[in-house]
Structure 1
Amino acid sequence: MTDYGHDLLFGANPESPPEGSGDIVELAKLTEQVGLDLVTIADHPYIPDQLDTMALLSVIAARTSTLRVLPALANLPLRPPVALARTAATLDILSDGRFELGVGSGAVWDQIAAEGGPRHTPGESIAALEEAVRIIRALWTPGDPVRFDGRHYRLDGVAPGPFPVHDIPIWLGAYRPRMLQMTGRIADCWLPSSPYLPPEHLAAANAIIDEAASDAGRAPQAVRRAYNIAGEFTAEGGGFLQGPPKAWVEQLAELALTQGISTFILYRIESADVIRQFAAETVPAVREIVAAERGRPSGQPA
């Protein structure tokens, strides 16, 4: 059983058909209005009838005041690390420190290559992502021009800046051992999705992250654990997040206390009603249960 002790955060990953992309902004505004903490937007720059993720996040940040915003996850092969670092820092400055950066190694390689991006093997994509994270952090740090001689990226005296107004956390999505190990070494947050990594597989993945973090001289709790959650509110229970709010509360509180998940994000959500119900009937009760258990002296029975 693992609870890394992070404050609980709740959010939404809104999406809508291309012709209704403006609805995403309204869903994001609602997410803030009902008291949730963050909004994430998927990044598929190779799909021409979807709005650009970074531009969309800038509008969401401008129309909210407390909401954290981030791409989940920025498509690295089509967003080079220097440009990505500068865009992220700019959005952090303009949002008064509410921007966080999720970065993905890439997928759909035929479409990426068609747009002039690289066609990486799985191993190459992981190596490129690790290089990119190191470059991005270097460009956020005041100091001498950045020089970097990697296999995938080379910088020859690039001036750092602009500088974010807070330490921007870098989120990575990971499922396989090599990516999980890299997450433990260098990431600030791990973000898997429940349709691809069901709850019963979280413990094994956490163990890989923890070991890699320790081997790198980091505390395992240095990596926040987030989770994209896909489910449906129904009258009767029927599996993970398939049931009434009470069932959601029990399952999410258990994941927080036994698997260290401290950020829960409604995944690919299109319904304002689901956001409202989640905020009203699930989130407060999960917070209450976790706070009560954390306040219980070690060894005291529930």
Structure 2
Amino acid sequence: MPDYGHDLLFGTVLVPSAGHADDTVTLARLADSSGLDLVSVPDHPYRPELLDAWMALAVIAASTTRVRVFPNVANLPLRPPALLARTAAGLDLLSGGRVELGLGAGAYWDAISADGGPRRDPGAAVRATREAIEIVRALWRGGPPVRVGGAHYRLDGAAPGPAPAHPIGIWVGAIGPRMLELVGAAADGWLPSVPHVPPGRLEAGHRRVDEAAIAAGRRPAAVRRLYNLSPGPGGFPRGAPDAWPEQLAALALEHGTSAFLLPARQPALIRTFAAEVAPATRELVAAARGRAADPDGPPSDPGGVADGAAASAGPVVAGSRTATLAPRAHRTGSGERLSVRPTPDPGVRRSTERLWDESTRPAGPTADPERRHPRHEQEPARNLVAAHDQLRADLDRLGGLVREVLADTLDPGEARSEIQKLSLRQNIWTLGAHCASYCRVTALHHTREDQDLFPFLRRSDPRLGAVLDRLAEEHHAIQGVIERIDRELVALARGGTCGEGLRAAVDLLTDTLLSHLSYEERELIEPMARFGTGW
């Protein structure tokens, strides 16, 4: 598929939790100040534990100065198109032209029906979305009263307006072939998500969009290609954030994807995405586009991505351009300075309870700042961070399950069943099993899971002993909090508690786990690069 030449956009998907309403605005401000281009929120009007999407977007727009905001994606069955058109245009005027319209045909039909919305089969959903796009555009255009005689939406002389401050893009979340044809014929953007449309399926989707656009007399480049990311094992992009630029650049060059939305609840990840991933991706794409525009220029490094971060995470995207990506600027000779960085502690504490005194944590020996490591030496540390990112994602999932339980939208028994599936619940905080779990999560060294990392590091540098002892103590303390959450769920299911104990236990786990993971990365990244794992 072609590179459509669009400017690259980077943004985030924030979940507007009613239980932690301020967090969404705080993260949106961070995205704005960090230089991201887009902030979006999901729209599930039938979920009471979430704030109304448009209410959240209005506050975000009022609290920021430059980011564009949009629903990811607006739930059409519960939001009539005339109301959508006027809401989006009004917020666009109030924000100085910083609103886009993500639009979805609907999915969770039981919940939509329970809230009084229609239940549509796939064909009806496509037809309703087509009518809605026609209505929205007609109301934004102005002119005479609008009359639309659709099967699902009818306007009989509706007054148009208000006109938005800028041409709002209509970005449709679509999966099926008929919806993709509608995107090509009538929308301004296609917004798939990694879990529903993984990278290997993008080419077929883009081709259908392009063919529909041409059939409708439009240029395929008139449709921007966006992507809701889902990092972590089994998702995309793969590996640690420093491996993402090559993967995202490959999507831009191979498939024309030009906007990347990252779901994030940790400030550190938003900062990294804005300050490191976005600039590096833009640099790679600009260099490749420059070479394409100047075929007589110097040849690209044939090694390209092959010795880069993306190679360690597996194949990026099949295609001929992958190998033309320029190597990252920091690569030098046989080694480079350690580029793996610990994830900072967010520094925010939800609980008044403390499991330990952080000021008493021992530190390991000071690392040599001039030491260089070949990329293969840095892989164990990079895998450690990737495994920790999975635990952080599990923590987010656990928090969401508990909020659903407290909102009485999920049975405590079902929540317990889901929590049992999470990596952080699989007895990983026991010394030795914890270390082996790193391998299970990252699918590396799985044949040597019976080997312990900590004893190896202790033998390699006895000065790490105090740090390793402290980490082991914290592992056991955190396991106790996880078991406490399970007990609170049981008590809630039996009607013996109002849920405050469960909320307090989750807050304590959030504080302790994020603090611990940051400490462990800070102390072990350099020794793991220096000594390896012993496997």
Equivalent residue in structure 2 for 1:289, among 263, 269, 284: 284
Query: What is the TM-score when the length of structure 1 is the normalising length?
Result: 0.95
Displacement of 1:203: 0.7
- Looking at structure 1, the residues matched to 156 and 262 of structure 2 have their Cα atoms a distance apart, in angstroms, of 42
Provide structure 2 residue ranges, at least 5 long, that are not aligned to the other structure: 301-535
- Looking at structure 1, the residues matched to 64 and 197 of structure 2 have their Cα atoms a distance apart, in angstroms, of 31
Asked whether the equivalents of residues 16 and 270 of structure 1 are also in contact (C-alpha less than 8 Å), the reply is: no
SS of structure 2 residue aligned to 1:197: coil
SS of structure 2 residue aligned to 1:123: helix
**Counterpart residue type for residue 279 of structure 2:** P
Asked whether the equivalents of residues 16 and 41 of structure 2 are also in contact (C-alpha less than 8 Å), the reply is: no
Displacement of 1:298: 5.4
SS of structure 2 residue aligned to 1:243: coil
- Looking at structure 1, the residues matched to 14 and 165 of structure 2 have their Cα atoms a distance apart, in angstroms, of 26
Question: Is 1:265 matched up with 2:248?
Answer: no
Across the aligned residues of Structure 1 and Structure 2, the Cα RMSD in angstroms comes to: 1.5
Structure (1 or 2) with the greater strand fraction: 1
Displacement of 1:239: 7.2
- Looking at structure 2, the residues matched to 59 and 223 of structure 1 have their Cα atoms a distance apart, in angstroms, of 29
**Counterpart residue type for residue 67 of structure 1:** V
Aligned residue runs from structure 1 range 23-172, under 5 A: 23-172=23-172
SS of structure 2 residue aligned to 1:171: strand
Aligned to 2:398: none
- Looking at structure 2, the residues matched to 12 and 94 of structure 1 have their Cα atoms a distance apart, in angstroms, of 22
Asked whether the equivalents of residues 105 and 126 of structure 1 are also in contact (C-alpha less than 8 Å), the reply is: yes
- Per-residue CA distance 1:12-51 (angstroms, 9 max, x = gap): 0012643113211111111111111010110000112211
Number of residue pairs matched?
A: 297
More displaced stretch, 177-186 vs 18-27: 18-27
More displaced stretch, 240-249 vs 71-80: 240-249
Residues 163 and 71 (structure 1), Cα distance of their counterparts in 2 relative to 1, 3 Å cut: same
Residues 266 and 42 (structure 1), Cα distance of their counterparts in 2 relative to 1, 3 Å cut: same
Aligned to 1:242: 238
- Looking at structure 2, the residues matched to 238 and 201 of structure 1 have their Cα atoms a distance apart, in angstroms, of 15
- Looking at structure 1, the residues matched to 199 and 108 of structure 2 have their Cα atoms a distance apart, in angstroms, of 26
Aligned to 2:405: none
Asked whether the equivalents of residues 15 and 50 of structure 2 are also in contact (C-alpha less than 8 Å), the reply is: no
Q: Percent identity?
A: 56
- Looking at structure 2, the residues matched to 239 and 196 of structure 1 have their Cα atoms a distance apart, in angstroms, of 11
Asked whether the equivalents of residues 3 and 259 of structure 1 are also in contact (C-alpha less than 8 Å), the reply is: yes
Displacement of 1:281: 2.0
Aligned to 1:278: 273
Aligned to 1:199: 199
- Looking at structure 2, the residues matched to 102 and 286 of structure 1 have their Cα atoms a distance apart, in angstroms, of 24
Asked whether the equivalents of residues 189 and 225 of structure 1 are also in contact (C-alpha less than 8 Å), the reply is: yes
SS of structure 1 residue aligned to 2:196: coil
Aligned to 1:252: 248
Asked whether the equivalents of residues 69 and 99 of structure 1 are also in contact (C-alpha less than 8 Å), the reply is: yes
- Looking at structure 2, the residues matched to 285 and 152 of structure 1 have their Cα atoms a distance apart, in angstroms, of 46
Asked whether the equivalents of residues 13 and 42 of structure 2 are also in contact (C-alpha less than 8 Å), the reply is: yes
**Counterpart residue type for residue 258 of structure 1:** E
SS of structure 2 residue aligned to 1:148: strand
- Looking at structure 2, the residues matched to 239 and 65 of structure 1 have their Cα atoms a distance apart, in angstroms, of 32
SS of structure 2 residue aligned to 1:204: helix
Displacement of 1:299: 4.2
Query: What is the TM-score when the length of structure 2 is the normalising length?
Result: 0.54
- Looking at structure 2, the residues matched to 173 and 239 of structure 1 have their Cα atoms a distance apart, in angstroms, of 18
Aligned to 2:18: 18
- Looking at structure 1, the residues matched to 269 and 256 of structure 2 have their Cα atoms a distance apart, in angstroms, of 24
Aligned to 1:180: 180
- Per-residue CA distance 1:173-231 (angstroms, 9 max, x = gap): 11111111100001101100112111111111100000000000000000000001111
**Counterpart residue type for residue 176 of structure 2:** R
- Looking at structure 2, the residues matched to 115 and 198 of structure 1 have their Cα atoms a distance apart, in angstroms, of 31
* Greater Cα radius of gyration, structure 1 or 2: 2
Asked whether the equivalents of residues 75 and 103 of structure 1 are also in contact (C-alpha less than 8 Å), the reply is: yes
Asked whether the equivalents of residues 15 and 21 of structure 1 are also in contact (C-alpha less than 8 Å), the reply is: no
Larger relative contact order, structure 1 or 2 (CA cutoff 8 Å, min sep 6): 1
- Looking at structure 2, the residues matched to 26 and 168 of structure 1 have their Cα atoms a distance apart, in angstroms, of 25
- Looking at structure 1, the residues matched to 56 and 242 of structure 2 have their Cα atoms a distance apart, in angstroms, of 34
SS of structure 2 residue aligned to 1:112: helix
Displacement of 1:117: 1.1
Aligned to 2:464: none
**Counterpart residue type for residue 162 of structure 1:** P
Residues 97 and 17 (structure 1), Cα distance of their counterparts in 2 relative to 1, 3 Å cut: closer
SS of structure 1 residue aligned to 2:118: coil
- Per-residue CA distance 1:237-289 (angstroms, 9 max, x = gap): 9874232333211100100111100000103x211111111112211110111
- Looking at structure 1, the residues matched to 234 and 104 of structure 2 have their Cα atoms a distance apart, in angstroms, of 32
